[in-house]
Structure 1
Amino acid sequence: MQGLEKYINSGDFDKAQDLYKHMDFHTFHANLLEIAFDNSEITNYTFIVSR
């Protein structure tokens, strides 16, 4: 999960998407929810709407 959070927060959405492609959707969903609640950065939502 730390990799996903690092890539999203740094704006490296291509690497974040690569991680997503190799992850089960439910795992990704749980990880993204945890990240969003922990840091409340706008980049979490930007990643979702940019893809």
Structure 2
Amino acid sequence: LKRDVVSISGNAPGPGDATLRADKRPRPLVLRMNEGDCLEVTFTNWLAPQRV
């Protein structure tokens, strides 16, 4: 989540300038739905400075 990252340089966090907050730890993403449901997910990669 955007609120879980901070800027590496001290500016506003963005692509290539973001890291996880010190009080957060990486966790797996678990998505659960009922059979037949449709889920649309949009990911934003702030770790790479260019689009990958």
TM-score (norm 1): 0.27
Which has the larger Rg?
Answer: 2
| Higher RCO, 1 vs 2 (CA within 8 Å, ≥6 residues apart) | 1
Could you tell me the TM-score, scaled by structure 2's length?
0.27
